[in-house]
Every structure is written in structure tokens, then in C-alpha cells.
């Protein structure tokens, strides 16, 4: 039990907000955010497998899905993906991948809402355990996120690093920071 508690604490720490200065390198910020999402996946698995419902963990995960993941998807859908479509070369064959990821974002949004709703119900109702449907939703969401992140990390991000210009990255950085209400003007070169 002590090992599980330590592991859970380490994973929960992995959801800590990223340093604002990292927004000056937007692709690195996105990759770091992907690591946070992988921590969230492990926490979802822990919540789904636990005999007792951990309220603190449930609240943390629900907030992460509701807030952080939602902003991350907007970063990709409104900024990263359109910029990549403009910069990609035909040999990159990126359109099919970006189309798949956009469809997955839509499906994940629905499943994410179901996960948040299940956790919010458990929190509001003082549940001591999660019901079977909630456990399945948490596991399915985590599995889908892992697949999605693997594609983004293995295909999208390497192409983005090769194709996006300094100007593209500066614009991406500004828009991501503005979306989070963070002033990064003091970080600009």
C-alpha cells in the first residue's frame, strides 16, 4: 500500500502546471504537456483499479481533463495543425494523420466529458467506490489518450520540428500564452 501511495503521489505531482517560460518553446511545451497527459492516464488507471475512491485524486483528474486537456486540444486544433498544413511538404503525408487526430479529438472530448461527469457524480455523491461504468470510461479514455499521444509524439512533433519556421513558432507561442492568460513578452528573444 505504501508503494501504491508513493506512486500515486508521484503521478499526481506529474500533473503540476508547466513553467510559463516553457511557452517560449511551444513544441517543447506541447511535448511536456503530453508527459502530463501520460501521468493523467496512469492516474485514471489507478482510479479505475482502486477498491476505494480517492476523492483528492478524482478531483485532480477531473480538473485536468476539464481544463488543461481542453486548452491543449485548442492549441493543436486552432494553431499547431493549421500551421503544419501550411508548412508540410507533400512527402510528409501529414493530412491523413492530422485528420485522424482531429477526429480523435472530437471522440475524446465526448469520452472526456463522460469521465468528468462520472468523477463529478462520485465527488458530489460522496461515493466510496466508482461504479463499473465509470471504471470502464476511465480505462477507455486512458487507452485512447495513450494511442493518440503515441501518434502525435512519433509522427506530428518530429515533422513540426522540421517544418515550422521561427515565425510560426513565435506566433504559436504567443497564442498559446494568450490562451492561458500568461504574458511572455519578457521571454521573447
Domain boundaries, the chain: 2-8+23-182
Q: Beta-carbon neighbour count of residue 130 at 10 Å? A: 24
Q: Beta-carbon neighbour count of residue 136 at 10 Å? A: 14
Fold exhibited by the domain 2-8+23-182 = 1.20.120
C-alpha distances (whole Å) from 17 to each of 109, 116, 161, 164 are 21, 19, 23, 25
Give pTM, 2 decimals: 0.91
CA 58 from chain centre, in angstroms, equals 16
Q: Per-residue pLDDT averaged across 95-120, rounded?
A: 94
Structure confidence at residue 21 (pLDDT): 92
Question: Could you give the residue ranges of the DSSP H alpha helices within 14-165?
Answer: 26-49, 55-63, 70-74, 81-87, 94-124, 132-151, 157-163
Structure confidence at residue 151 (pLDDT): 97
Amino acid at each position: 500500500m505504501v508503494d501504491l501511495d508513493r506512486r500515486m503521489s508521484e503521478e499526481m505531482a506529474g500533473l503540476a502546471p508547466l513553467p510559463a517560460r516553457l511557452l517560449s518553446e511551444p513544441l517543447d511545451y506541447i511535448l511536456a504537456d503530453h508527459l502530463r497527459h501520460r501521468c493523467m492516464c496512469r492516474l485514471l488507471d489507478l482510479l479505475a483499479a482502486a477498491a476505494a475512491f480517492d476523492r483528492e485524486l478524482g478531483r485532480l483528474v477531473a480538473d485536468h481533463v476539464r481544463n488543461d486537456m481542453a486548452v491543449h486540444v485548442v492549441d493543436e486544433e486552432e494553431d499547431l495543425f493549421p500551421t503544419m498544413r501550411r508548412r508540410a511538404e507533400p512527402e510528409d503525408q501529414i493530412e491523413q494523420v492530422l485528420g485522424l487526430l482531429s477526429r480523435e479529438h472530437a471522440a475524446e472530448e465526448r469520452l472526456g466529458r463522460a469521465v468528468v461527469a462520472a468523477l463529478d457524480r462520485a465527488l458530489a455523491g460522496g461515493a466510496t467506490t466508482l461504479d463499473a461504468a465509470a471504471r470502464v470510461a476511465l480505462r477507455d479514455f486512458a487507452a485512447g489518450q495513450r494511442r493518440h499521444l503515441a501518434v502525435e509524439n512519433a509522427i506530428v512533433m518530429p515533422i513540426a520540428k522540421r517544418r515550422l519556421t521561427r515565425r510560426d513558432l513565435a506566433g504559436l507561442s504567443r497564442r498559446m500564452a494568450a490562451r492561458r492568460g500568461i504574458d511572455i513578452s519578457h521571454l521573447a528573444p
